[in-house]
């Protein structure tokens, strides 16, 4: 018996891999959804977006992420855009990540269609702008310089909603969605330098880094990973801005069970470890 | 089953990558090399469209000859191939080093040091509600202890013994708690990505998930 | 200023419900003409390149009755000349930055028009204002002072180091193992893998990583151990190649330097990870160094390395990735330790001097925190003063 | 001399752009903007070296018939094809090439990218299983906080005990944040010092030879 338990101390990594796969596939295939609760960082963004004046200063959404993290960030992007469009808040979209270019276009047009919003009047999309921090800084000096042409090669001046938008003072908030440190750069180069409100949408891995900045209010809020997305979906559904929960909420089932598995593995691992230590001591 | 050949290619390549989890194998080797090649090709295109064209070709077309200066500096990279002038490669390097280091000093100092000192200071609202688990005075003090002890861990120019040893250890405890939390919090992110791949394989490729 | 506006914004948010309320007595009042905003002030916008004038005013008294929709800001070159509209702000705001005025050129006069539902009301003309470019951003005075202080502290200790004063540095786990790690690789006849992070040269962490690479390369040159340095950033790649080559020259083994040992892999993060995975499983390096800036790929690299049984020494200032290096690597340099590494390895007095300077600055910070704590417990007033001192633009 | 010029450049540029941060005036902002653009132009040339090194690296493998040399052919072919498709795909009349470029990206490169990233989930599990052992005081703390947070993000946590999510968030917000802030201070100072050392020419390993 003890010897058997001791084995759990040293499972082959491949077995661990296999178990994880099962723990994810089963809930996905049988579609199990749990309930979850909203944390304050998510609420921070939601509440701020919820008080932006309709048809007032636009929200700048920067799709600073690559396909590999799209799974986590797409849902939150959709949720926030739905929130804005449902409330009649204008949106300016752009991307600092080369591969974010197409991602942003896909999402923003899809959601805009849901609420039949007009390009150029209710929202704009400028696509990928090379230079990262360079662009963040230019936006503070001259938005038109930083975004001369939109994604569809329309010149800045022929976009009705962009007139009277000169710099960060004319933007309600910058929401940077990224799997990297882009939001922090936004915070430093746009927030610290020009004093615009910054919101972060981060992969769950990056999110914890930003707690210091959340507490100092350098970020007004943050959406962390699939959970953040799911929470925002829940919020807009509860508020009646959107009808049904989306992909993020679905994925939470698989997430729950895989976590459970890892927790069990850790427990078993420690049991095994201590038993084998005892056995050695006997010898 | 999908009838789109491209979906099949995507699926098989994904599996080739996953196969590495079992062990290194020809399929993975192929995928890996294909991946490297394609991604470099892709980035050549990106650099071409987003750097070379707008920042070099267009200005020159518009007779903005000033662009020749950075070009000349950039060219010096290519002296790598001329042994006699090899050392000139240090000049473009020096330019980027000088620029980035210069501008990073005040910005870093402001964001990583000053702002953080402000954030660590006890604020008056804390005095009103002492035991609040989020922003009470006690929490403020705890954060203060954590921050200070962590800082002492990074004290290099003195042997960690005596009181310094104690504080440094407390610091490490905070650090470990922090890291554990981050790790635990991150599992979700990674699993989410795997879920997305599974959704692709079992929705777009083999239609199993509705 | 901005704070004030924000406060007003919040006030508006709070006021929104009454907006929604059914038309009460106000509705009838709406017929009467609204009162204009009062006390119009125009002045150069501070701390800018001098192409803006800030106009401020006292809100029209009718705003309270929700009769005002917003304010039009008008500009003229003469007090009695023709005023043209230069901007509009919704009610709740009492200031506007006129962004398109030439710097240091001429005086302008402003009027603010309160726009009501049915009527409008024009204010008196402001005193003249001229936009001037500033040569110092007063919001940043604190940053400047603290940077200078820090530089001075560092300089003092560099000076001391120059004068030959010996400086102690505590043992840093991971760096003290570099020597033996290289030795081990040599005995096993296996190469050493050094990844200088995935970020560009603009990242100070990368620069630190390159400094360490210089030291490691010298050791591999001495032992004649093959070195593999895959790169993701083109500029970093060229620098890394220089550093390694020079290190071999300095040790006097230019013959041992293999031009192909420092190479560019790909710019794609995951492409890079898969490539390095391949190298680790096929070349079987005895020691892996992961130094500099890393993102998600950190655990991919570290776990593969752990599976191949290599000794792994990591170091990064990316707080989000440290946990993974800690769990999967034998030694991990945490944050500042990465920046201390090149001093630690080279033992160059001047580098050690800067390290001493950093330590003293840390001491200052700790002092500041403790004093700040003590004071804010005694009197919040003084605390405000301290926060002012720390205020940043 | 060979070393002096770069050092002077670093010193002057470094000091200039340090000061620039504090000077909002017209010309200072203009100079700033131009230099930003220049750095882009300059780095564009390093890319030539990088690509050169990559091609050379694989050419050698093929020439010397190193093990798995045929894979190098795959890399080179993929590189050339992708680059040509992308660049000529923009030319009028050659749009089909452009479309193929996008298809290759979407169905060949992107999937491998995401798959590679998804592998992380498995590594998280194995790493947690291997490293989360109460071997020492520190390891135990790592284990416990990780454990609680993992419980906190999933509903089972609150089923077990309604307080767990709050505790998890508290760990993230209080001790975790304290530690990160402490580390941040160190990083801030370390970065600034490193930048200083480079600007003042104390740290010269980038010049090679550690400045000697």
User: In angstroms, what separates the C-alpha of D32 from chain B's closest C-alpha?
Assistant: 10
Q: Which of B32, B89, B155 sits opposite C359 (nearest CB)?
A: B155
- Averaged pLDDT score across all residues of chain D: 90
Q: Which of A187, A205, A209 sits opposite B189 (nearest CB)?
A: A205
- Test A255 with B192 for CB contact under 8 angstroms: yes
Of C56-70, C347-361, D4-18, D72-86, which range is least confident? Answer: C56-70
- Test A212 with B181 for CB contact under 8 angstroms: no
The full DSSP string for chain A is -HHHHHHGGG--HHHHHHHHHHHHHHHHHHT--------HHHHHHHHHHHHSPTTSSPEEEEEE--GGGHHHHHHHHHHHHHHHHHHT--EEEEESSTTHHHHHHHHHHHHHHHTTPPBTTTEEEEEE-TTTHHHHHHHHH-HHHH-SB-TT--BGGG-GGGTT--SGGG-SEEEEEESSSHHHHIIIIIIIHH---EEEEE-TTTGGGGHHHHHTTSSSEEEEHHHHHHHHHHHHHHTTSSSS--HHHHHHHHHHHHHHHHHHHHHHHHHHHHHHHHHHHH-
The sheet with strand C120-122 has its strands ordered as C84-90, C68-76, C109-116, C120-122
pLDDT of residue C91: 63
pLDDT at A132 over 90: no
Of A3, D55, A125, C357, nearest to B44 by C-alpha is D55
Q: Which residues of D touch B146 (CB under 8 A)?
A: 174-175, 178-179, 181-182
pLDDT of residue C392: 57
Q: Going along C105-148, which residue ranges are E strands? A: 109-116, 120-122
pLDDT at C14 over 50: no
pLDDT of residue C115: 81
- In a mutational test of the D interface, the residue from A38, A105, A211, A234 whose CB has the highest number of chain D CBs within 10 Å is A211
Q: Which residues of B touch D13 (CB under 8 A)?
A: 94-95, 98-99, 102
pLDDT of residue C286: 96
- In a mutational test of the C interface, the residue from D47, D206, D212 whose CB has the highest number of chain C CBs within 10 Å is D206
Q: Which of C13, C97, C319 sits opposite A51 (nearest CB)?
A: C13
pLDDT at A244 over 90: no
Residue of C nearest to B144 (CA): C369
* Chain C CB within 8 Å of residue A13 CB: yes
Model confidence at A271, pLDDT cuts 50, 70, 90, reads very high
Residue of A nearest to C270 (CA): A68
Q: How far apart are alpha carbons B97 and A199 in whole angstroms?
A: 31
Give the other-Cβ count within 10 Å of D27's Cβ.
Answer: 10
Give the other-Cβ count within 10 Å of A227's Cβ.
Answer: 27
- Test C320 with A53 for CB contact under 8 angstroms: no
Model confidence at C377, pLDDT cuts 50, 70, 90, reads confident
Collect contacts of C63-69 with beta carbons under 8 A, ≥24 apart: C63/C91, C63/C92, C65/C26, C65/C29, C66/C15, C66/C18, C66/C19, C66/C26, C67/C26, C67/C29, C67/C30, C67/C34, C67/C116, C67/C117, C68/C34, C68/C114, C68/C115, C68/C116, C69/C115, C69/C116, C69/C117
User: In angstroms, what separates the C-alpha of A203 from chain C's closest C-alpha?
Assistant: 10
pLDDT digits 0-9 by tens, D147-206:
999 998 887 887 788 788 789 888 988 899 899 999 999 999 999 999 999 999 988 877
User: In angstroms, what separates the C-alpha of B94 from chain C's closest C-alpha?
Assistant: 10
B48 or A33, higher pLDDT: B48
| Residue A22 neighbours by CB under 8 Å, 6+ apart | none
Per-residue 3-state assignment (H helix, E strand, C coil) for B22-71:
CCCCHHHHHHHHHHHHHHHHHHHHHHHHHHHHHHHHHHHHCCCHHHHHHH
* Chain D CB within 8 Å of residue A110 CB: no
What is the three-class DSSP state of C120?
strand
What residues in chain D have their Cβ under 8 A from chain A's Cβ atoms? 29, 32-33, 36-37, 40, 110, 113-114, 116-117, 121-122, 124-126, 128-130, 132-135, 143, 147, 150-151, 153-156, 158, 165, 169, 172-173, 176-177, 180-181, 184
pLDDT of residue D142: 94
Model confidence at A31, pLDDT cuts 50, 70, 90, reads low
Hey, what are C332's tokens? 């991990």
Chains contacting B (3 or more CB pairs within 8 Å): A, C, D
Average pLDDT score over residue span C230-244: 92
Q: How far apart are alpha carbons A112 and A86 in whole angstroms?
A: 10
Q: Which residues of A touch C87 (CB under 8 A)?
A: 164
Hey, what are C356's tokens? 């001493």
Of C252, C303, C295, nearest to C272 by C-alpha is C295
Average pLDDT score over residue span C3-20: 41
Of A28, A77, A21, A67, nearest to A199 by C-alpha is A77
User: In angstroms, what separates the C-alpha of A50 from chain C's closest C-alpha?
Assistant: 10
Which of B83-87, C347-351, D187-191: highest mean pLDDT?
D187-191
What is the three-class DSSP state of C70?
strand
pLDDT of residue C325: 96
pTM of the model: 0.81
Q: How far apart are alpha carbons B205 and A281 in whole angstroms?
A: 53
Hey, what are D5's tokens? 């010029």
pLDDT of residue A188: 82
pLDDT of residue C173: 87
Give buried/exposed letters for A239-262 (b at 16+ CB in 10 A, else e).
Answer: eebbeebbbbbbbbbbbbbbbbbb
D163 or B45, higher pLDDT: B45
* Chain B CB within 8 Å of residue D54 CB: yes
pLDDT digits 0-9 by tens, B175-204:
999 999 999 988 987 888 898 899 889 888
Average pLDDT score over residue span C99-125: 84
C372 or B168, higher pLDDT: B168
pLDDT of residue C32: 60
Among D residues 69-108, those touching chain C with beta carbons less than 8 Å apart: none
Model confidence at C59, pLDDT cuts 50, 70, 90, reads confident
B98 or B1, higher pLDDT: B98
Residue of D nearest to A277 (CA): D135
Average pLDDT score over residue span A228-234: 88
What is the three-class DSSP state of B135?
coil
The sheet with strand C287-291 has its strands ordered as C262-264, C227-231, C192-195, C287-291, C311-316, C331-334
Q: Which residues of A touch B22 (CB under 8 A)?
A: 14
Hey, what are C79's tokens? 């007090």
Bridge partners of C90, per DSSP, are: C70
Model confidence at C23, pLDDT cuts 50, 70, 90, reads very low
| Residue D15 neighbours by CB under 8 Å, 6+ apart | B102, D199
Average pLDDT score over residue span B12-16: 96
Of C228-232, C289-293, C347-351, C371-375, which range is least confident? Answer: C371-375
Q: How far apart are alpha carbons A42 and A89 in whole angstroms?
A: 19
Model confidence at C3, pLDDT cuts 50, 70, 90, reads very low
The full DSSP string for C196-246 is --SS-TTSHHHHHHHHHHHHHHHHHHHHT--EEEEESSHHHHHHHHHHHHH
Of C61-70, C117-126, C207-216, C284-293, which range is least confident? Answer: C61-70
Whole-angstrom CA distances from B29 to A283, B19, C249, D71 are 46, 10, 35, 7
* Chain B CB within 8 Å of residue D103 CB: yes
Q: How far apart are alpha carbons A221 and A50 in whole angstroms?
A: 13
pLDDT of residue B92: 93
Residue of D nearest to A269 (CA): D129
B84 or D120, higher pLDDT: D120
Average pLDDT score over residue span B125-145: 77
* Chain D CB within 8 Å of residue A35 CB: yes
pLDDT of residue D206: 78
- Averaged pLDDT score across all residues of chain B: 88
- Test C134 with D25 for CB contact under 8 angstroms: yes
pLDDT at D210 over 50: no
Chains contacting A (3 or more CB pairs within 8 Å): B, C, D
pLDDT of residue B134: 65
pLDDT at A35 over 70: no
The complex's ipTM works out to 0.85
* Chain B CB within 8 Å of residue D69 CB: no
- Test D117 with C270 for CB contact under 8 angstroms: yes
Query: Would you say C338 and C290 are in contact if contact means Cβ atoms under 8 Å apart?
Result: no
Average pLDDT score over residue span C212-226: 93
The sheet with strand C95-98 has its strands ordered as C38-44, C53-58, C95-98
pLDDT at B62 over 80: yes
User: In angstroms, what separates the C-alpha of A210 from chain C's closest C-alpha?
Assistant: 9
pLDDT of residue C19: 37
pLDDT of residue A94: 95
pLDDT at C145 over 60: yes
Q: Which residues of B touch C390 (CB under 8 A)?
A: 114, 117-118, 121
What residues in chain C have their Cβ under 8 A from chain A's Cβ atoms? 2, 9-10, 12-13, 16, 49, 87-88, 90, 97, 99-100, 202, 269-270, 295-296, 307, 318-320, 392-393
pLDDT at D74 over 80: yes
A69 or C70, higher pLDDT: A69
- Test A180 with C13 for CB contact under 8 angstroms: no
Q: What are phi and psi of C120, to 5 degrees?
A: -130, 155
Model confidence at B29, pLDDT cuts 50, 70, 90, reads very high
* Chain B CB within 8 Å of residue C130 CB: no
Of C273, C327, C275, C282, nearest to C308 by C-alpha is C282
The full DSSP string for D120-182 is HHHHHHHHHHHH---SSHHHHHHHHHHHHHHHHHSHHHHHH-TTHHHHHHHHHHTHHHHHHHH
Model confidence at C66, pLDDT cuts 50, 70, 90, reads low
Average pLDDT score over residue span B132-140: 76
pLDDT of residue C389: 66
- Test B202 with A24 for CB contact under 8 angstroms: no
Hey, what are C62's tokens? 């009718």
- Test B107 with A188 for CB contact under 8 angstroms: yes
Query: Would you say C77 and C109 are in contact if contact means Cβ atoms under 8 Å apart?
Result: yes
Hey, what are D50's tokens? 């990088």
D73 or A206, higher pLDDT: D73
Q: Which residues of C touch D127 (CB under 8 A)?
A: 299, 302-303, 324, 327-328
């Amino acid at each position: 018996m003890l010897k058997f338990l001791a084995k759990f101390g040293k499972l082959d990594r491949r077995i661990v891999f296999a178990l994880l796969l099962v723990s994810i596939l089963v809930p996905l295939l049988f579609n199990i959804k749990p309930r979850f609760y909203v944390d304050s960082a998510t609420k921070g963004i939601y509440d701020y977006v919820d008080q932006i004046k309709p048809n007032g200063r636009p929200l700048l959404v920067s799709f600073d992420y690559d396909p590999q993290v799209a799974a986590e960030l797409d849902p939150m992007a959709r949720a926030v855009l739905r929130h804005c469009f449902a409330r009649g808040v204008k949106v300016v979209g752009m991307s600092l990540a080369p591969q974010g270019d197409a991602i942003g276009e896909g999402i923003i047009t899809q959601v805009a269609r849901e609420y039949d919003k007009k390009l150029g009047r209710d929202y704009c999309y400028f696509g990928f702008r090379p230079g990262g921090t360079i662009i963040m800084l230019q936006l503070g000096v001259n938005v038109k310089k930083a975004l001369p042409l939109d994604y569809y090669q329309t010149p800045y001046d022929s976009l009705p909603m962009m007139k009277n938008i000169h710099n960060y003072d004319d933007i309600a908030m910058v929401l940077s969605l990224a799997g990297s440190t882009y939001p922090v750069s936004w915070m430093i180069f746009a927030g610290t330098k020009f004093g615009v409100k910054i919101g972060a949408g981060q992969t769950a891995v990056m999110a914890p880094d930003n707690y210091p900045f959340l507490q100092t209010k350098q970020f007004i809020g943050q959406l962390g990973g699939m959970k953040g997305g799911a929470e925002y979906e829940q919020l807009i559904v509860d508020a009646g801005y959107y009808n049904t929960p989306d992909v993020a909420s679905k994925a939470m089932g698989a997430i729950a069970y895989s976590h459970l598995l890892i927790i069990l593995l850790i427990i078993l691992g420690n049991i095994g470890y201590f038993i084998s230590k005892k056995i050695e001591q006997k010898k | 089953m999908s009838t789109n050949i491209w979906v099949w290619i995507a699926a098989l390549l994904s599996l080739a990558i996953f196969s590495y989890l079992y062990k290194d194998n020809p399929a993975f080797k192929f995928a890996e090399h294909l991946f490297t090649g394609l991604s470099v090709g892709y980035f050549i295109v990106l650099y071409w469209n987003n750097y070379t064209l707008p920042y070099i070709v267009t200005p020159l077309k518009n007779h903005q000859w000033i662009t020749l200066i950075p070009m000349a500096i950039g060219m010096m990279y290519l002296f790598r191939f001329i042994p006699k002038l090899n050392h000139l490669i240090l000049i473009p390097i020096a330019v980027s080093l000088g620029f980035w280091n210069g501008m990073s000093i005040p910005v870093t100092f402001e964001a990583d040091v000053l702002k953080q000192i402000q954030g660590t200071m006890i604020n008056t609202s804390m005095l009103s509600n002492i035991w609040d688990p989020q922003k009470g005075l006690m929490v403020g003090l705890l954060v203060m202890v954590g921050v200070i002890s962590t800082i002492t861990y990074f004290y290099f120019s003195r042997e960690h013994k005596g009181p310094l040893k104690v504080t440094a250890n407390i610091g490490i405890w905070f650090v470990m708690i922090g890291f554990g939390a981050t790790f635990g919090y991150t599992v979700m992110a990674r699993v989410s990505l795997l879920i997305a791949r599974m959704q692709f394989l079992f929705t777009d490729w083999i239609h199993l998930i509705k | 200023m901005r704070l004030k506006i924000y406060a007003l914004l919040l006030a508006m948010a709070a006021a929104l419900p009454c907006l929604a309320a059914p038309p009460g007595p106000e509705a009838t009042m709406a017929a009467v003409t609204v009162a204009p905003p009062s006390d119009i002030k125009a002045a150069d916008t501070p701390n800018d390149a001098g192409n803006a004038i800030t106009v401020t005013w006292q809100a029209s008294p009718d705003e309270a009755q929700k009769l005002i929709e917003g304010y039009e800001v008008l500009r003229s070159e003469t007090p009695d000349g023709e005023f043209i509209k230069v901007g509009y702000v919704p009610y709740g705001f009492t200031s506007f930055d006129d962004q398109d005025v030439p710097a240091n050129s001429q005086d302008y006069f402003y009027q603010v028009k309160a726009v009501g539902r049915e009527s409008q009301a024009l204010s008196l003309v402001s005193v003249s204002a001229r936009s001037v470019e500033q040569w110092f951003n007063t919001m940043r005075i604190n940053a400047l002072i603290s940077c200078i202080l820090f530089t001075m502290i560092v300089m003092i200790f560099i000076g001391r180091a120059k004068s030959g004063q010996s400086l102690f540095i505590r043992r840093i786990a991971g760096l003290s193992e570099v020597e033996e790690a290289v030795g081990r690789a040599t005995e096993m006849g296996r190469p050493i893998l050094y990844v200088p992070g995935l970020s560009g040269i603009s990242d100070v962490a990368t620069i630190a990583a390159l400094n360490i690479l210089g030291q490691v390369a010298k050791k591999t040159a001495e032992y004649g151990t093959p070195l593999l340095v895959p790169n993701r950033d083109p500029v970093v790649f060229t620098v890394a190649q220089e550093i390694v080559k020079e290190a071999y020259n300095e040790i006097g083994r230019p013959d041992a330097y293999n031009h192909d040992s420092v190479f560019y892999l790909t710019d794609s993060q995951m492409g890079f990870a898969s490539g390095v995975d391949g190298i680790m499983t096929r070349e079987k390096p005895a020691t892996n160094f992961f130094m500099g800036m890393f993102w998600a790929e950190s655990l991919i690299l570290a776990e593969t390395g752990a599976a191949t049984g290599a000794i792994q020494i990591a170091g990064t200032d990316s707080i989000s990735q440290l946990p993974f290096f800690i769990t999967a690597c034998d030694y991990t340099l945490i944050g500042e330790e990465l920046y201390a590494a090149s001093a630690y390895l080279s033992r160059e007095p001047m580098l050690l001097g800067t390290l001493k300077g950093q330590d003293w600055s840390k001491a200052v910070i700790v002092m500041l925190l403790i004093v700040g704590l003590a004071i804010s417990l005694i009197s919040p007033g003084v605390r405000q003063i301290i926060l002012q001192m720390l205020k940043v633009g | 001399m060979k070393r002096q010029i770069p050092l002077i450049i670093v010193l002057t540029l470094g000091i200039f752009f340090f000061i620039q941060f504090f000077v909002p005036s017209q010309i200072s902002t203009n100079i700033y903007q131009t230099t930003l653009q220049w750095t882009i132009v300059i780095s564009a040339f390093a890319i030539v070296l990088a690509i050169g090194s990559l091609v050379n690296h694989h050419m050698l493998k093929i020439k010397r018939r190193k093990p798995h040399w045929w894979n190098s052919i795959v890399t080179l072919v993929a590189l050339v094809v992708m680059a040509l498709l992308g660049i000529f795909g923009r030319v009028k009349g050659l749009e089909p090439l452009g479309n193929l470029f996008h298809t290759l990206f979407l169905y060949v490169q992107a999937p491998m990218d995401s798959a590679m990233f998804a592998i992380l989930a498995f590594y998280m599990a194995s790493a947690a299983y291997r490293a989360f052992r109460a071997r020492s005081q520190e390891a135990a703390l790592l284990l416990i906080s990780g454990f609680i947070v993992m419980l906190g993000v999933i509903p089972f946590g609150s089923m077990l005990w309604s307080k767990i999510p709050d505790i998890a968030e508290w760990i993230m917000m209080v001790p975790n944040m304290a530690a990160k802030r402490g580390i941040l201070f160190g990083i801030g100072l370390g970065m600034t010092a490193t930048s200083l050392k480079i600007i003042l020419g104390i740290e010269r390993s980038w010049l090679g030879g550690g400045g000697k």
